[in-house]
Amino acid sequence: MAELGADRAMNQKLFSRAIERLPVPSSVLRRISRLLADPETSANTIAEVLKLDPALSGKVLRLANSAYIGIPRTVSSLPHAVVLLGMKRIHGIVLTSELLKPFHHSTSLPFSMDRFRRHAVTVAFIAESIGRHLQRYDALNEHELFSGALLHDIGKLLAGAVDPDAVSEIHKRSRKLTIPFYRAESDEFSHTFLGLQLAQRWQFPTELSACIRGHHTAACFPELHRMVSIIHIADIMAHLLGYALYPDEKTPAIDDAALSAVQLPVERLRVIAEDILKQQEQIGSLLDIFDGER
């Protein structure tokens, strides 16, 4: 027992140090976050800030001209690209792009970074689609869902980079016991808890933090139950479509309370899933943004 206690203390130190060592949000991202808090902010203003990061501006323009948006005309102005993509979606893209950067070249990750990115982007597409299908969708919008979905499993990256052996052990245990990955984790080092610590360090808004902490236990977030429930359902749908982190991963069970919070018939969810399978080109365009070339 004493040894186990010492191990845990060491792990906590390792994770705390790793979180401290991660870069803080760039000045571009901080400025975009501040600007978005003001409802009067225009696409022009966001474009002006984006221009300060030429590599990122290039990617945003590329995305606006890709199958992701799918319009026949060429988009050459950054403000136009911001309007097309949406300001909050741009924020989600910048945030995710920055958060993934330190992990792109991590050679020790015990899972495929490609699969990680594809899972995140597929969940984002599904979550947005659920948002669009909901009528009287008042308290949040699709673009906030998009950021929450992209980042929901960010704690797995941190766990994989800091303690790859422990993550491999969790994966092995989940396979042996035929339980979902999250149920094979210990509470104190779960990916949702580690993700929350990261969210706190980066001062994420409450909604994003709730998506990260609560996507496997949506009922714990009554005030944001609908949003977290959408991420919960989108995550499970991505598993069912074959886009889990591990190819042999056990799909988590769907929470009935989350289903009733979202209030979409299962038949509608099936239609959404079929649409997602047809959107592989759009998903590929968004994946290019997070491909680690920067």
Closest separation between CB of residue 193 and Fe ion, Å? Answer: 11
Q: CB under 8 Å to 77, separation ≥6 — which residues?
A: 47
The end-to-end CA distance of the chain, in Å, is: 45
| Span near Fe ion by CB under 5 A; candidates 90-98, 229-237, 255-263, 279-287 | 229-237
Q: CB under 8 Å to 234, separation ≥6 — which residues?
A: 123, 124, 126, 127, 130, 149
Closest separation between CB of residue 190 and Fe ion, Å? Answer: 9
Instruction: Determine which residue in the list 53, 128, 144, 153 makes contact with Fe ion, applying CB under 5 A.
Output: 153
- Residue 185 interacting with Fe ion (CB under 5 A): no
| Per-position DSSP letters for 112-158, written without gaps between them | -HHHHHHHHHHHHHHHHHHHHH-SS--SS-HHHHHHHHHHTTHHHHH
- List the Cα angle 250/217/183 in 5-degree steps: 35
Residues 101-140: x where in contact with Fe ion by CB under 5 A, - otherwise, as a string: ----------------------------------------
State the CB neighbour count (10 A cutoff) for residue 293: 9
267: amino acid identity, one letter: E
Closest separation between CB of residue 283 and Fe ion, Å? Answer: 15
Closest separation between CB of residue 155 and Fe ion, Å? Answer: 8
Angstrom distances, CA of residue 21 to CA of 15, 32, 158, 169: 10, 23, 11, 25
Measured from the CB atom, is 25 or 180 closer to Fe ion? 180
Instruction: Determine which residue in the list 126, 185, 235, 237 makes contact with Fe ion, applying CB under 5 A.
Output: 235
Closest separation between CB of residue 17 and Fe ion, Å? Answer: 23
| Span near Fe ion by CB under 5 A; candidates 68-76, 142-150, 230-238, 273-281 | 230-238
| Span near Fe ion by CB under 5 A; candidates 93-101, 106-114, 134-142, 146-154 | 146-154
Measured from the CB atom, is 75 or 131 closer to Fe ion? 131
Closest separation between CB of residue 88 and Fe ion, Å? Answer: 21
Measured from the CB atom, is 87 or 158 closer to Fe ion? 158
Residues 240-269: x where in contact with Fe ion by CB under 5 A, - otherwise, as a string: ------------------------------
Give the C-alpha separation, 23 to 30, whole Å: 13
Give the C-alpha separation, 191 to 252, whole Å: 15
| Span near Fe ion by CB under 5 A; candidates 19-27, 167-175, 234-242, 279-287 | 234-242
Q: Length of the chain in residues, anyone?
A: 294
State the CB neighbour count (10 A cutoff) for residue 178: 7
| Span near Fe ion by CB under 5 A; candidates 48-56, 82-90, 152-160, 286-294 | 152-160
| Span near Fe ion by CB under 5 A; candidates 88-96, 97-105, 153-161, 204-212 | 153-161
Give the C-alpha separation, 162 to 171, whole Å: 16
Closest separation between CB of residue 11 and Fe ion, Å? Answer: 19
Closest separation between CB of residue 149 and Fe ion, Å? Answer: 9
Give the total of residues touching Fe ion (CB under 5 A).
Answer: 2
H helical segments located in the chain: 2-21, 27-36, 43-50, 54-64, 78-85, 87-100, 113-133, 142-151, 154-162, 164-177, 191-201, 206-214, 225-240, 256-262, 266-278, 280-289
The residues that touch Fe ion, with contacts defined as CB under 5 A, are 153, 235
